[in-house]
């Protein structure tokens, strides 16, 4: 399973590029002067291309598992790995030995 990545949109009339099994390609706008798409596994990752967000929103997104992956022309690419987020939250759950016994 691969992390989400940007790739150039196939030229009109050319065959679409192959995707890893279970992955999807969605338009992501212009990055580095080229029309790009983001390739990701929708069962594992959330992706967002956002514009004009405040520092407070950035901090909030980071607080719920989103990671900033890049910026271009006022747009920002954010990715969240849902499996990593679930693992992180499970580590925060008290275990039996962490809970005091009541006599």
Residue 99 lies in a domain: no
pLDDT at 99 exceeding the cut of 90: no
Q: What are the tens digits of pLDDT across the range 24-82?
A: 999 999 998 999 999 999 999 999 999 999 999 999 999 899 999 999 888 999 999 98
Q: Range of 49's domain? A: 5-11+20-93
Where b means 16+ CB within 10 Å and e means fewer, 37-75 reads bbbbbeebbebebeeeeeeeeeeebeeebbeeeeebeee
Looking at the 3D structure of the chain, how many domains does it have? 1
Residue 52 lies in a domain: yes
Residue 98 lies in a domain: no
Q: What is the pLDDT of residue 16?
A: 81
For the record, the structure tokens of 44 come out as 């594992």
CA gap 23, 67 in Å, rounded: 19
């Amino acid at each position: 399973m691969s992390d989400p990545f940007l790739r150039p949109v196939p030229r009109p009339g050319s065959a679409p590029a192959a995707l890893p099994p279970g992955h999807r390609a969605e338009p992501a706008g212009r990055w580095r002067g080229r029309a790009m798409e983001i390739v990701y596994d929708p069962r594992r990752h959330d992706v967002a291309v956002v514009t004009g967000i405040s520092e407070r929103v950035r901090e909030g997104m980071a607080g719920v598992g989103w990671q900033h992956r890049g910026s271009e022309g006022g747009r920002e690419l954010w990715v969240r790995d849902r499996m990593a987020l679930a693992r992180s939250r499970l580590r925060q759950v008290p275990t039996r030995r962490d809970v005091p016994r009541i006599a």
